[in-house]
Amino acid sequence: MSELLGFSGVRQRFSGNQTLTLPDWTLQRGEHCLIMGPSGSGKTTMLSLAGGLLTADAGHVSLDRQPLHELGEAQRDRLRARCVGLIFQTLHLVSALNVGRNLALAQYLAGQTVDWDRIRTLLTELAVDHLIQRKPDTLSQGQAQRVAIARATVTSPQLVLADEPTAALDDRNCERTIELLLSQAQACGASLVIATHDQRLKSYIKTTIQLDVPT
Amino acid sequence: MSIWSLTWAYLRANALGSALHILLLALGVATITTLLLLDHQLDDRVRAETRGIDMVVGAKGSPLQIILSGVFHLDTPTGNIPLEDVRWLQEHPLVAQTIPLALGDSYRGFRIVGTEHALVDHYGAELAEGELWNGVHDVVIGATVARDAELELGDTFYGVHGIATGDGPVQGEVHDDHPYRVAGILAPRGRVIDRLVLGSVESVWHVHDHTSEAEGTEAIDRQSDDDHAHRHEHDDHGHNDHGHEDGHDRRHAHEHDHGHEAGTDGDEYHAGHEHHEDGEITALLLQYRSPLAAVTLPRLVNARDGLQAASPAQEITRLMGLLGVGLDALRLFGWILLAAGGLGLFVGLYNALRQRRYDLMIMRSLGARRRVLVGQVLLESLTISILGALLGLLLGHLAMDVLGAAFSQGRQLAMDGRLFLWQELQLFAGVLIIGILAALIPAWQAYRTPIATALTKP
Ligand SMILES: Nc1ncnc2c1ncn2[C@@H]1O[C@H](COP(=O)(O)OP(=O)(O)OP(=O)(O)O)[C@@H](O)[C@H]1O
Ligand SMILES: [Mg+2]
């Protein structure tokens, strides 16, 4: 086991003199983790820092043993493309492209060659292969979420970051989604980090980081 | 998957918007192109047709009309000038060369011009087949006449009374007693001469001598109703001596005539018919022997009764000055359209890309390199600008072609849309620059927005 993600002394300042202090934290390869806490406690911020979408104002974040604050923006984009799959709270599929091509786009932008076999297999595993030609606008919320999971894992990342993937789902769909996430992470040997305040996920992922609302 | 297929997907997803952008841009480019072509050809033709002609002498009247009728063969002439004046000019020490023009008849809407071989040289025209005319029955025809009237070497035809102004065949009496024979056909010059039938001055006189004899003896073939006024005029003056006073009055009467029904066939009928019985000609093109002539000769000519000197250079400058305002206004309008097209493209792309900020952010979150994102946006914008510019150039040339063919003046000056100007390349480049700017500014803005703010807020 080796370290995939590390936070040390990270602090993030926002406008209005509000400072968010995040706990020190390391994540080993293949290890899963939940980031929990009430609204406004900094869960999304922590995911953004981990994925290199944000840089910390103080402290260090390292991803795949590379200190993110020392990298340029373009290098961070490359590192993210290589190592990280992102599932946002809002799913952010590209509306001009159909489902299959959204996945192909992720591979293309990550610098991989487009692998239609992998795309089809992945969509089949997630039971949305019949939607491959559909535009994202025409999908149901649950279908779009599964496509988003497929897109986050189609590049075989080492780290999958998911923000509130189950917040709007009933128990049955919550169960199905977390199982899909776990199985896809398993399939490509990735670590899964989920930011949520959904207590139901605790039974699936044992490691938890608890955040508190900043004072 | 590539920036090409990505661009194609975006263009298709917004097909109507893309098409409208292309159309808007094309309209601006087309207007500018048409104006460029029109301006260039007008200038070119005017320059070419007046080169080597220092002065045109015609009957008293508008100098501009003399130039338009004598050089461009567009307008009706102001009248005729008597032979003694012609001789005076030909022998004048300040005059180097003269070319007479005797107008009066036409064939299928093409003017029959009684002149000398020197006119062919003046136009720099060459015979495609046959030879130059000799005697009173031979004519040489321009390339367009040969094509449109379907005349071949050796064919004969009859002239129709009346001066063509380019508005199609003249309705007049057919001179069926004087056949013309095509002795030669000129190679195309892309100039006015392509649309002329050239013969000797004597041939024109010959045709009309006959007519005037008939009229002099009150022949029955001249009894048509529309000719009454004219015949009265002739009854009054026709058999008198042709002194200056008389000639002047007659021309004066004709000028009035012209003012009232300018351009009508009836008028042309009169104009063409009035003279020739005593060997008058319509206009004389002349070249100065020295620059000094420009100062003195026009005054000498205008001092003579019934004569009017017209300088092509001056008249054209005057005409262009008048036309120029209109052309400038049109050009301004074209640039405004183009600017609107460019601005439309800019605003359209800017809005499209602003709406696509999320898409660009998603692509960045997926690791897109800067050059991929900027390249894709550029490609999309350039596709629209290139298509718009090409469509605009095509429409502009088509419009010029239609304009050149639809208007008699365009036909007479041999204008069309089948030429290419280097300014069009500049126009094309200008449109591309607009396209690039329209793409770069939103792309740059998209890059300045932190991804996290754009994506993590629902
Ligand atoms: N761009 C920003 N500008 C100012 N303040 C911000 C910004 N982004 C986050 N914050 C603040 O940082 C704190 C943490 O925000 P974050 O989005 O990480 O919370 P969260 O735990 O994800 O909450 P939720 O469960 O509601 O999604 C909040 O108090 C928020 O107001
Ligand atoms: Mg959040």
Domain membership flag for residue A215: no
Domain membership flag for residue A94: yes
- A6 neighbors A62 (Cβ within 8 angstroms): yes
Q: How many helices (H) and strands (E) does chain A have?
A: 6, 10
Alpha-carbon distances of B151 from B137, B148, B162, B423, rounded to whole Å = 15, 8, 20, 39
- B281 neighbors B77 (Cβ within 8 angstroms): no
How far apart are alpha carbons B352 and B331 in whole angstroms? 31
Q: Phi then psi for B372, rounded to 5 degrees?
A: -70, -45
Which regions of chain A are under pLDDT 70? 1, 215
Yes or no, beta carbons of B363 and A78 under 8 Å apart: no
The residues near B76 (Cβ < 8 Å, ≥ 6 apart) are: B65, B69, B163, B165, B258, B262, B263, B267, B268, B271
The bound ligand whose nearest atom lies closest to the alpha carbon of A19 is 1
Ligand 1 atom showing the smallest separation from residue A38 Cα: 25
Mean of per-residue pLDDT scores for chain B: 79
How far apart are alpha carbons A60 and A78 in whole angstroms? 19
H-helix segments, B143-264? 143-148, 201-216, 228-237, 244-260
Asked if residue B165 has pLDDT above 70, the reply is no
Return the pLDDT at B219. Answer: 35
Return the pLDDT at B214. Answer: 40
Asked if B452 has any chain A CB less than 8 Å from its own CB, the reply is yes
* Cα A185 → chain centroid: 11
Using CA positions, which residue lies closest to atom 14 of ligand 1? A42
- pLDDT, tens digit, 9 for 90 and up, residues B286-326: 999 888 888 889 999 999 888 999 999 888 888 877 777 77
Return the pLDDT at B457. Answer: 66
Asked if residue B157 has pLDDT above 60, the reply is yes
Query: Chain B contacts of A86, Cβ < 8 Å?
Result: 365-366
In which residue are the tokens 């279908």 written? Answer: A143
| Residue B374 alpha carbon to ligand 2 centre in Å | 30
What the block records as the tokens of B49 is 């047709």
How far apart are alpha carbons B65 and B76 in whole angstroms? 7
How far apart are alpha carbons B393 and A112 in whole angstroms? 41
Percent of chain B at pLDDT > 90 equals 23
- pLDDT, tens digit, 9 for 90 and up, residues A166-177: 877 788 888 988
Asked if residue B454 has pLDDT above 80, the reply is no
Domain membership flag for residue A12: yes
Domain membership flag for residue A52: yes
- A102 neighbors A96 (Cβ within 8 angstroms): no
Asked if residue B263 has pLDDT above 80, the reply is no
Structural domain count of chain A: 1
Query: Chain B contacts of A44, Cβ < 8 Å?
Result: 456
Confidence of residue B264 (pLDDT cuts 50, 70, 90): very low
Ligand 1 atom showing the smallest separation from residue A213 Cα: 29
Return the pLDDT at B285. Answer: 93
Return the pLDDT at A136. Answer: 92
Nearest to B9 among A96, A109, A110 (CB): A96
Yes or no, beta carbons of A96 and B13 under 8 Å apart: yes
Query: Of B133 and B408, which is predicted with more confidence?
Result: B133
Confidence of residue B268 (pLDDT cuts 50, 70, 90): very low
User: Counting one residue from A and one from B, how many pairs have CB atoms under 8 Å apart?
Assistant: 77
Q: Which of A14, A88, A94, A101 is most worth mutating to test chain B (most B CB atoms within 10 A of its CB)? A: A94
Using CA positions, which residue lies closest to atom 3 of ligand 1? A14
Using CA positions, which residue lies closest to atom 27 of ligand 1? A39
Domain membership flag for residue A185: yes
Q: What is the pairing mode between strands B283-288 and B55-59?
A: antiparallel
How far apart are alpha carbons B175 and B183 in whole angstroms? 19
- pLDDT, tens digit, 9 for 90 and up, residues B27-81: 888 988 988 898 888 888 888 888 889 999 999 999 999 998 988 888 888 888 9
**Torsion of Cα atoms, B415 then B420 then B423 then B426, to 10°:** 150
Return the pLDDT at A167. Answer: 78
- pLDDT, tens digit, 9 for 90 and up, residues B190-199: 788 888 999 9
Nearest to A81 among B5, B367, B370 (CB): B367
| B449–chain A nearest CA distance, Å | 11
Q: Is A39 in the pocket of ligand 1 (CB under 6 A)?
A: yes
Using CA positions, which residue lies closest to atom 25 of ligand 1? A39
Asked if B6 has any chain A CB less than 8 Å from its own CB, the reply is yes
Return the pLDDT at B168. Answer: 65
Between CA A54 and CA A60, with CA A59 as vertex, the angle to 5 degrees is: 70
B151-162 mean pLDDT: 89
Return the pLDDT at B270. Answer: 42
Biggest distance spanned by C-alpha atoms of chain B: 106
Domain membership flag for residue A173: yes
Confidence of residue B424 (pLDDT cuts 50, 70, 90): very high
Using CA positions, which residue lies closest to atom 2 of ligand 1? A14
Laid out side by side, the sheet with A191-196 consists of A84-87, A159-163, A191-196, A33-36, A208-210
The bound ligand whose nearest atom lies closest to the alpha carbon of A43 is 1
CATH value at residue A81: 3.40.50.300
Asked if B2 has any chain A CB less than 8 Å from its own CB, the reply is yes
Return the pLDDT at B225. Answer: 42
Asked if residue B103 has pLDDT above 70, the reply is yes
- pLDDT, tens digit, 9 for 90 and up, residues B353-389: 667 777 888 888 888 888 888 888 889 889 999 999 9
Using CA positions, which residue lies closest to atom 26 of ligand 1? A39
Q: What is the C-alpha radius of gyration for chain B, rounded to an integer number of angstroms?
A: 31
Interface predicted TM-score (ipTM) of this complex, two decimals:
0.86
Percent of chain B at pLDDT > 70 equals 80
| B458–chain A nearest CA distance, Å | 6
Q: Phi then psi for B177, rounded to 5 degrees?
A: -100, 0
Q: Is A44 in the pocket of ligand 1 (CB under 6 A)?
A: yes
How far apart are alpha carbons B158 and A124 in whole angstroms? 87
The domain spans of chain B are 3-47+327-456, 55-212+261-310
Domain membership flag for residue A149: yes
Return the pLDDT at B232. Answer: 44
Choose which residue among A45, A48, A49, A53 to substitute to test ligand 1 binding: the one with the highest number of ligand atoms within 8 A of its C-beta: A45
How far apart are alpha carbons A108 and B367 in whole angstroms? 9
Q: Which of A77, A98, A137, A156 is most worth mutating to test chain B (most B CB atoms within 10 A of its CB)? A: A77
Confidence of residue B231 (pLDDT cuts 50, 70, 90): very low
First to last CA, chain B: 28
Return the pLDDT at B458. Answer: 56
The single-letter code of the amino acid at A112 is Q
Alpha-carbon distances of A186 from A94, A126, A158, B224, B260, rounded to whole Å = 26, 14, 10, 107, 98
Nearest to B369 among A74, A93, A114 (CB): A74
Q: Phi then psi for B428, rounded to 5 degrees?
A: -60, -50
How far apart are alpha carbons B233 and B230 in whole angstroms? 5
| B369–chain A nearest CA distance, Å | 7
Return the pLDDT at B254. Answer: 43
B409-437 mean pLDDT: 85
Return the pLDDT at A14. Answer: 81
Return the pLDDT at A1. Answer: 61
Q: What is the pairing mode between strands A33-36 and A208-210?
A: parallel
Return the pLDDT at B257. Answer: 42
Q: Is A11 in the pocket of ligand 1 (CB under 6 A)?
A: no
How far apart are alpha carbons A76 and A91 in whole angstroms? 22
Q: Is A17 in the pocket of ligand 1 (CB under 6 A)?
A: no
- A66 neighbors A20 (Cβ within 8 angstroms): no
pTM score, two decimals?
A: 0.70
For A163, name the nearest residue in chain B, comparing CA atoms only. B456
Burial class (CB in 10 A: 0-12, 13-18, 19+), B221: exposed
Full residue range of the structural domain in which residue A188 is found: 3-210
How far apart are alpha carbons A84 and B370 in whole angstroms? 18
Q: Is A15 in the pocket of ligand 1 (CB under 6 A)?
A: yes
Q: Is A20 in the pocket of ligand 1 (CB under 6 A)?
A: yes
First to last CA, chain A: 36
Return the pLDDT at B161. Answer: 85
Confidence of residue B262 (pLDDT cuts 50, 70, 90): very low
Instruction: Name the β-bridge partners of A25.
Output: A7
Return the pLDDT at B136. Answer: 85
- B276 neighbors B212 (Cβ within 8 angstroms): yes
Domain membership flag for residue A70: yes
How far apart are alpha carbons B190 and B196 in whole angstroms? 12
Asked if B359 has any chain A CB less than 8 Å from its own CB, the reply is yes
